[in-house]
Structure 1
Amino acid sequence: MADTIEGWLVCEKECAPTYYIPIADWLPGTLVPAKTGNMTSQWMGRARYYHVVVGHAHAARAAWAFPEADGEFAPIRNAVSVYANLMEACFVGREKVLRQSNGYDAGWITPNLTGITQTPAMTESG
């Protein structure tokens, strides 16, 4: 659904990193704007949500962007992240992202990441 070498990594205090992939690197038709959803970040502004559609699979409000991000977050204005838990699988390079126990944590935890997690229990995705 997406593949990039130009993504952005955002690290927030005590959270796993969140990866943002440029909108141009998503397959056409994969991101469908959601009419609902409201999240505001004190650093990045108001989020815009997307449904992720791949073939017959549909993940509601599984992706988001911060189109009005400014300052040090301005580079992610045209990028989207997903809840890895709602995807069949996500990878950072060849490292498979681990599923977090709470289901809706935005951070992407890979086996090589240590010391920064928002939730202690993890199981492998997919």
Structure 2
Amino acid sequence: MRRPTPEPPGPGQESVWDYPRPPRVEQVPQRITIRLAGELIADTRSAVRVLETSHPPVYYLPIADFVPGALVAAAGSSFCEFKGAARYFDVQSGGTVREGAAWNYPQPSPGFETLVDKVAVYAGPMDECTVGSEVVVPQPGGFYGGWVTSAVVGPFKGTPGSMGW
């Protein structure tokens, strides 16, 4: 499969095709929030993002910055060739439960140790996820957990036909 033609970034934008492989972790200066069932369930200024070629950033928030009870251990696991073995969480608020909507790496691979006490959340099942004051759009396709903002351009992995990128 051919690599797609990257969209040219405008002023203040990043192309996901300039992100590295293996991925890079970096601090996020903006406030990050997550809402579910009309309630604010996470609010932090201590997030990091993982940048990987062809993917919008995946934001990892400190577990301690979620309201108590919002994250409940769930069945299932997966493995990332870079970050290691992931475990999953159900995300809940106000009687609403989104099964397997969050994950983390309790023993991440070398280079990703900063993720140990942080969790990533799929934006799609949430009411709203924000980076700064901007509401994010979920990465296409539902498999990957990137958050799309106006600061990034693609095309993004997850769209139809992108399996081989």
TM range (shorter): 0.7 to 0.9
1:19-98 equivalent positions in 2, closer than 5 A: 19-34=59-74, 36-98=75-137
Instruction: Kindly state the Cα deviation for residue 115 of structure 1 after the two structures are TM-superposed.
Output: 3.0
**What is the aligned-residue identity percentage?**
38
Correspondence for 2:57 = 17
CA distance in 2, matches of 1:62, 1:42: 21
Q: CA RMSD of the aligned region, Å?
A: 1.5
CA distance in 2, matches of 1:39, 1:90: 23
Structure 1, unaligned stretches of length 5 or more? 122-126
Structure 2, unaligned stretches of length 5 or more? 1-40, 161-165
Question: Aligned in 2, Cα 1:106/1:8: closer, same or farther, shift over 3 Å?
Answer: same
Greater displacement, 88-97 / 100-109: 100-109
TM-score norm. by structure 1 comes to 0.88
Q: Return the structure number with greater helix share.
A: 1
CA offsets 1:43-67 (integer angstroms, 9 cap, x no match): 1111010000011111000000001
Correspondence for 2:145 = 106
CA distance in 2, matches of 1:117, 1:101: 7
**Bigger Cα Rg:** 2
1:98–1:111: 8 Å Cα contact kept in structure 2?
no
Instruction: Kindly state the Cα deviation for residue 98 of structure 1 after the two structures are TM-superposed.
Output: 1.1
Structure 1 residue runs of 4 or more that deviate by more than 4 Å after TM superposition: none
TM-score norm. by structure 2 comes to 0.68
Which amino acid in the other structure matches residue 113 of structure 1? V
The DSSP-based 3-state class of the residue aligned with 1:46 is strand
Instruction: Kindly state the Cα deviation for residue 70 of structure 1 after the two structures are TM-superposed.
Output: 3.4
Equivalences, count: 120
CA distance in 1, matches of 2:117, 2:77: 18
CA distance in 1, matches of 2:118, 2:47: 8
Correspondence for 1:5 = 45
